[in-house]
Amino acid sequence: MRTARIVAGFRIRALAFSPDLAHLVGVGDGGQIRVWSTRSWTLEQSMASGASNLLWVAFHPRAEALITGAEDGSILRWNLNSRSPSKVLSA
């Protein structure tokens, strides 16, 4: 799998745009999550899951939450207001 670096020290494994295209989220190694504004391309949020490497990400249809999947099989639903997982599932 090829990965890219947008920010020094952050290896991106997956990207997703919000439904309104106002944000781009990247997930990667060490459970890191970054959210950028597509209007200014500035980093708006940075979170860490504590899980192993994150492999995929998707926005909730109303852009109020993220769903991430990790290498260890865990699936997390993230509340973007509180910046914390609101639900954790494991394989």
Residue 1, pLDDT > 50, answer no
pTM over 0.75: yes
Q: Are 12 and 6 in contact (CB under 8 A)?
A: yes
At 3, the pLDDT band (50, 70, 90 cuts) reads very low
User: How far out from the chain centre does Cα 29 lie?
Assistant: 11
Tens of pLDDT along 34-91? Answer: 999 999 999 998 888 776 789 999 998 877 889 999 888 888 888 888 877 776 776 6
- pLDDT at position 5 is 47
d(CA 90, CA 78): 15
